[in-house]
Amino acid sequence: GLPRNNVWVKVYPPEAPRFDVKDKFEVRNPGPTNMPPRNSLPLKYLYLFLTDYIWNLMVKETNLYATNELIIKTSNGTLTLNSRIRKWVNVTVKEVKKYIAVVINMGLNYKKNYKHYRATST
């Protein structure tokens, strides 16, 4: 063994397996399935991860969070008169997709200031 903090450690030979497990598993076709064609747009690959289930879950949890915030702030008296949460409208999958697209685009196209993302000329 190699010294670790000037302490030698005994290295034992590998143990023999107690039983053979090779026949307990079935080898299937490993690798990706349902892949888009090679010349597909990057969005097709993104949708492999962000399925309809995930989009709907993001919408559900976003709306649930906003509703809970409104309830909590109302009940504990911290909801101010001009709070934006008072005007909350449930988001849709379409809106969440647009939001995620903006966030990804901002990550790919770095600007020094957030105001530059909204500028019509650079």
For 32-81, the pLDDT digits (tens) are 888 899 999 999 999 999 999 999 999 999 999 999 999 999 999 999 99
Query: pLDDT at residue 87 above 80?
Result: yes
Q: Residue 20 has what pLDDT?
A: 77
- In eight-state DSSP terms, residue 5 is T
Place 4 in a pLDDT band, splitting at 50, 70 and 90. low
Give 83's contacts (C-beta < 8 A, 6+ positions apart).
73
In degrees and rounded to multiples of 5, residue 7 shows phi and psi of -120, 125
- pTM (predicted TM-score): 0.67
DSSP lists the bridge partners of residue 7 as 4
12-22 pLDDT tens trace: 888 877 777 77
